[in-house]
Amino acid sequence: MGSLWSWLLAAVLPLAKKVLIGLGFGIVTYSGVSALSTAVINNVQFLIGEIPAEVAQFIALFGVFDAASIMLGAIAARASLAAVKKLGILTA
């Protein structure tokens, strides 16, 4: 029974360590990317407020704001994955 527990601990502890490191890194990365994206969105909203309402409605009609949100999300995901791979947390 003792060898079963030692084998189980040897298998689970490295996995648990990687999971906890990944979660911690994810929280830190999310905080940084969230602050950056909030700053970008606030800047864009300020700039949109400077253009006439008709032009803003026309831009919204084409879905430019939705496309910008999707692109910001993709950039955030890419940055997170690149940082995780560079730090060696995720190897694949």
Q: What is the pTM of this model?
A: 0.54
pLDDT one-digit tens code per residue, 20-72: 776 776 677 777 777 887 888 888 888 888 999 898 888 889 998 888 888 88
Find the helix packing angle between 53-61 and 64-87, rounded to 10°.
60
